[in-house]
Structure 1
Amino acid sequence: MTETIYSVLPGAESFFYKGNEIGILLCHGFVGTPQSVGELGKLLADKGFTVLAPRLKGHGTDARELEACCYLDWIKDIEQTYLKLKKICRKVFIAGQSMGGILALHLAGKYKEISGVITINAALSVPGYESFEDLTEPRFIAEGKPDIKAEGIEEITYSAVPITAVHNLLNLIKFIKPKLSEVSCPLLVFKSEEDHVVPPDSSDTLFENVSSSMKKIISLTNSYHVASMDYDKEIIADRTSDYIHLCCHPFYKISV
């Protein structure tokens, strides 16, 4: 049986910016694509960093491809991307939006040499999907409008999500949650005060359960769930840059 090859949707491709010797792996969330972290990636690249954003398997193509994926595919994707970035950068930081945030945490727990993790509304709980946990039908679940406060922002995503993919997201959360204590590198947590997808206390939970001695949490007051595309994206870029410089140079003076 021939495997179906799906084309990548225009604008949903992985992206890479070559900068200095500090690399940032930037991971999108569930049903999203690199486009959802594209503006943030450009802001970080403009600050001099090398930025690489992978497209996770089944994302940015066709929902039928996502239906055939396992959460282990997404773990493999981000791991392979890290190993690629590690070859060209002296230090590597992992940043992730929503599901990308928990994938970043898992990676940091496994690879202790990672210089730091940045999470943006990390998905340790997704109440809107949890009611489908024990269901096998319908095959696809309608997706609402992306949770973005700013008007006129279009995110590349699917209009319907396979229930098998929802199960994989929930299984990924179950797999990673008990491993949070394995994360010991510096951690920067961004959480939107108003998030209609992931409860803000999801970020509090991960903050409390990692083993990192250097960690900071920042509240975003003008963005919803997809904060990487929302009003606060410049704040995320600025504070991420400050934190990375602080991790690399302990006497770095943070801008106000």
Structure 2
Amino acid sequence: MERREVMNGAEEIRFEGNEVGILVSHGFTGTTQSMKLLAEAYAREGYTVYCPRLKGHGTSPEDMEATTHEDWVNSVEEAYRWLRDRCSKIFVVGLSMGGTLALYMASKHRDIAGVIPINAAVDIPALASSAGAKERFLDAIGSDIKNPEIVELAYDRTPVRSIGELVNLMDKVKDRLDEIHCPIMVFVSDEDHVVPPHNSEVVFESVFSEHKEIIHLENSYHVATLDLDQDMIIERSLEFFQTYTNTK
């Protein structure tokens, strides 16, 4: 199979720093571009950061169509292992499906020190009907951003087969939310045209974390990491890392 080139700006992001690792995950049909400014901000504070390019992303919709949700899980698992070799504590941060993957990791790896899902997807009934569409591709879902000056680097089409894989992943993670016990900070945009804000409420209510907080973003749409609340997300997540790095 011919290997397609990675889009400029969609490459994986890695910074080697101290013994605290931050695993950062982008979302469905998106790229590392949506998480780059967060990753760089974390690295400036000395953290070791890895934002992988999820398999099938950042190249072509046809590549994505050939991958499964297990492939996406494996992408973050590989990043986790890289961080585990270098770090004594690991936090996980993710946007949209990246948030779903972050929740999965927190449910599976009890050594994860904390998780920050941003507009994570766990329950979107309308997606199931889209997964049954007869077309091969549907319209793009990227770039749901309030700031008119910013554009997300994402696919211009959405593979129908991949929507089915996302539904499978959401179902799996929703069933595992009660396995999450680590500290959690949930970011949710009050207006989101991709993932209904109710998803974040489900996450917040379902996890068994003793320390949990939900933060409402009033000035961002779905891709909040590129939107007008970006600075607040960075500031609050850095406070979260500092707080839970200093606790056992």
- TM-score bracket for this pair, using the shorter chain length: over 0.9
Which residue is equivalent to 1:93? 91
Counterpart selection for 2:108 from 86, 107, 110 = 110
CA distance in 2, matches of 1:162, 1:144: 11
Deviation at 1:148, TM superposition (A): 0.4
Tell me: CA distance 1:144–1:77, structure 2 relative to 1, closer, same or farther (3 Å).
closer
Which residue is equivalent to 2:161? 164
Q: Match of 1:23, as an amino acid?
A: G
Preserved CA contact (<8 Å) 2:55 2:67: yes
Which residue is equivalent to 2:62? 64
What stretches of structure 1 of length at least 5 have no aligned partner? 251-256
Preserved CA contact (<8 Å) 2:145 2:151: no
Which residue is equivalent to 1:151? 148
CA distance in 2, matches of 1:249, 1:12: 33
Aligned-CA RMSD value? 1.3
Question: Does 1:207 find its partner at 2:204?
Answer: yes
* Larger deviation, residues 202-211 vs 41-50: 41-50
Tell me: CA distance 1:145–1:33, structure 2 relative to 1, closer, same or farther (3 Å).
closer
Which residue is equivalent to 1:180? 177
CA distance in 2, matches of 1:144, 1:29: 11
CA distance in 1, matches of 2:127, 2:151: 22
Equivalent residues in 2 for 1:6-155 (5 A)?
A: 6-126=4-124, 129-135=127-133, 137-144=134-141, 146-155=143-152
Which 4+ stretches in 1 moved above 4 angstroms?
A: none
Tell me: CA distance 1:115–1:68, structure 2 relative to 1, closer, same or farther (3 Å).
same
Question: How many correspondences in the alignment?
Answer: 247
Deviation at 1:49, TM superposition (A): 1.6
Which residue is equivalent to 2:214? 217
Which residue is equivalent to 1:226? 223
Q: Match of 1:17, as an amino acid?
A: F
Deviation at 1:128, TM superposition (A): 5.4
CA distance in 1, matches of 2:157, 2:126: 14
TM-score computed with the length of structure 2 as normaliser: 0.96
CA distance in 1, matches of 2:26, 2:182: 21
Preserved CA contact (<8 Å) 1:44 1:51: yes
Tell me: CA distance 1:116–1:157, structure 2 relative to 1, closer, same or farther (3 Å).
same
Tell me: CA distance 1:57–1:144, structure 2 relative to 1, closer, same or farther (3 Å).
closer
Which residue is equivalent to 1:253? none
Q: 1:181-226 CA distances to partner (integer Å, 9 max, x unpaired)?
A: 0111111110111111111111010111111111111111111100
Deviation at 1:125, TM superposition (A): 2.9
Preserved CA contact (<8 Å) 1:124 1:173: yes
TM-score computed with the length of structure 1 as normaliser: 0.93
* Larger deviation, residues 141-150 vs 53-62: 141-150
